[in-house]
């Protein structure tokens, strides 16, 4: 654990060490493992409850994202008023209860409710973490620290698929402590969170007495955005599009492999999880490395973001046309890497553009907006389009292509339009 000490969540006079960054990245990893749980068990869950793709998409998207976004807005107002590591430990505890509720839910409405609890629990975590990581006192550099944090989310999506698939294979169709395999796998994914709660509380204690800083909540953040902060509006729009592409792919790629190539649900989850485990960190870490350099071009971060979206669109088309698992694996890797690169750029570029006193509120507004659009609509829209293409054997893949290409078509002009306003954020 790092030896750095902070007298408040945004204190910038002391260094934030690598140990702290890694702990927060690990917690972000767990958050996205738990978000990804439905994607791991789509096939058996669909059979157990007789669900449609639209219903599954609604559970993966709106049920979580709308609650998450509303709670984020509240968190953005008071997140700076609570010691950040104790707050993050509380967040992990609440979303763990939501994960347990999902695993044990007796029916579809109960599962929707559990996803809402998950959203409430995760809402304040990222704003609290970004107050610490967005500080200019981060030893490894702000861009690289935030990219490592977002890498936790990317690995979490793949880790959820990989670990969930491994559990499903390990139980080999047998019940575990009276739970059917998909419920046992969902429960197994949330149990390690207990260790994270302990770790966060230990760090909070080591930091000593916390001095509550003067609070700048949502009203001041909104006032700043309406004034000198108008340059970040385009970044909000671009970030929402990037996250929509990421979430659509993450929610449905295992099902695509299962349906298009006939792999079993566990094998499909393991395959996609293994690919994402390599491709997603590559995209996120590349974003931090590129934005940590000077001289990224006249439009700065926008150029990197556009490159990621274009790569993702071509990769999605290649997945639709793939005739073998090898070609599909390469396409999935490029799709995940490109989408992750673009999404990470948006969050990283936002940090140096935001005054320290406003970072909690601005990040909460950003995360709430991109969650409603990206997390809330992405999986659901893809599922709805898939239902429209139900007569086609590749209907789900076609739906994903439509979503990813549409995101690129809309977002690239936005990035080009506002890119020069972001250029001064390229250097950390």
Residue 184: closest CA among 167, 163, 166: 167
Q: Please provide the distance, in angstroms rounded to a whole number, between the alpha carbons at the two ends of the chain.
A: 25
Q: Structure tokens of 327?
A: 């070609």
Whether 213 shows a pLDDT value over 80: the answer reads: no
pLDDT at 12: 37
Whether 421 shows a pLDDT value over 60: the answer reads: yes
Distance of CA 400 to the CA centre of its chain: 18
Angstrom distance (rounded) from CA 101 to CA 116 = 10
Query: 3-class SS at 271?
Result: helix
pLDDT at 6: 39
The DSSP output letter for 424 is G
Q: Structure tokens of 231?
A: 């340059």
**Does residue 66 contact residue 372 with C-beta atoms inside 8 Å?**
yes
Angstrom distance (rounded) from CA 304 to CA 422 = 12
Residue position matching structure tokens 């999880």: 273
Angstrom distance (rounded) from CA 6 to CA 410 = 42
Q: Structure tokens of 26?
A: 């690990």
**Does residue 189 contact residue 37 with C-beta atoms inside 8 Å?**
yes
Angstrom distance (rounded) from CA 61 to CA 249 = 12
pLDDT at 4: 39
Whether 362 shows a pLDDT value over 90: the answer reads: no
Angstrom distance (rounded) from CA 54 to CA 186 = 21
Angstrom distance (rounded) from CA 291 to CA 428 = 7
pLDDT at 154: 73
62 to each of 58, 65, 178, 322, how far by Cα in Å?
A: 5, 5, 30, 31
Query: 3-class SS at 175?
Result: coil
Q: Mean pLDDT, to the nearest integer, of 30-37?
A: 88
Rounded to 10 degrees, the C-alpha dihedral 85/89/94/95 comes to 90
Sign for the CA dihedral angle at 50, 273, 401, 245 comes to: positive
Rounded to 10 deg, the angle between the 233-261 and 376-388 helix axes is: 40
Tell which CATH architecture fits domain 18-425: Up-down Bundle (1.20)
The DSSP output letter for 213 is P
Per residue in 375-414, pLDDT (tens digit) is: 778 888 998 999 999 878 789 999 999 999 999 999 999 8
Residue ranges covered by each domain of the chain: 18-425
Between vectors from CA 17 to CA 13 and to CA 20, what angle results, nearest 5°? 110
What band does 210 get if pLDDT is binned at 50, 70 and 90? low
Which residue blocks in 3-107 are alpha helix, DSSP H?
A: 18-35, 37-40, 42-49, 53-60, 62-78, 84-104
Per residue in 216-273, pLDDT (tens digit) is: 567 788 888 888 788 888 888 898 999 899 889 888 898 899 888 988 877 887 888 8
**Does residue 372 contact residue 242 with C-beta atoms inside 8 Å?**
no
The residues with which 179 forms a beta bridge, in sequence order, are: 176
Per residue in 63-73, pLDDT (tens digit) is: 887 888 888 88
Whether 164 shows a pLDDT value over 90: the answer reads: no
């Amino acid at each position: 654990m790092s030896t750095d000490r902070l007298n408040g969540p945004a204190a910038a006079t002391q260094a934030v060490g690598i140990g702290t960054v890694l702990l927060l990245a690990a917690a972000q990893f767990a958050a996205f493992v738990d978000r990804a749980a439905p994607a791991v068990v789509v096939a058996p869950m669909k059979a157990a409850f007789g669900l449609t793709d639209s219903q599954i998409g609604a559970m993966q998207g709106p049920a979580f994202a709308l609650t998450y976004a509303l709670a984020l807005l509240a968190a953005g107002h008071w997140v700076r008023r609570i010691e950040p590591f104790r707050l993050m430990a509380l967040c992990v505890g609440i979303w763990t209860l939501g994960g347990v509720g999902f695993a044990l839910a007796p029916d579809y409405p109960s599962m929707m409710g559990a996803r809402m609890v998950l959203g409430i629990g995760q809402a304040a975590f990222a704003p609290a973490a970004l107050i610490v990581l967005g500080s200019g006192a981060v030893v490894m550099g702000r861009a690289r620290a935030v990219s490592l944090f977002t890498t936790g989310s990317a690995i979490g999506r793949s880790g959820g698929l990989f670990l969930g698939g491994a559990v499903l294979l390990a139980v080999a169709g047998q019940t575990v402590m009276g739970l059917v395999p998909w419920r046992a796998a969902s429960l197994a994914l949330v149990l390690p969170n207990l260790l994270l709660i302990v770790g966060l509380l230990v760090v909070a204690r080591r930091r000593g007495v916390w001095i509550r800083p003067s609070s700048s909540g949502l009203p001041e953040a909104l006032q700043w955005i309406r004034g000198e902060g108008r340059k970040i509006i385009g970044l909000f729009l671009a970030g929402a599009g990037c996250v929509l592409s990421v979430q659509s792919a993450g929610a449905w790629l295992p099902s695509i492999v299962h349906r298009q190539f006939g792999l079993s649900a566990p094998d499909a989850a393991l395959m996609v999880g293994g690919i994402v485990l390599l491709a997603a960190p590559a995209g996120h870490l590349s974003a931090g490395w590129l934005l940590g350099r000077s001289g990224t071009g006249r439009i700065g971060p926008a150029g990197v973001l556009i490159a990621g979206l274009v790569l993702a669109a071509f990769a999605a088309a290649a997945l639709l046309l793939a005739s073998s698992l090898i070609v599909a694996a390469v396409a999935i890797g490029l799709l995940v890497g490109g989408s992750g690169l673009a999404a990470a750029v948006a969050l990283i570029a936002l940090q140096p553009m935001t005054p320290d006193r406003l970072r909690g509120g601005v990040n909460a507004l950003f995360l709430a907006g991109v969650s409603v659009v990206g997390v809330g609509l992405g999986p659901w829209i893809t599922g709805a389009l898939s239902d429209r293409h139900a007569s086609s054997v590749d209907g789900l893949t076609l739906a994903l292509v439509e979503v990813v290409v549409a995101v690129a078509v809309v977002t690239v002009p936005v990035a080009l339009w506002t890119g020069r306003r972001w250029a001064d954020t390229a250097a950390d």
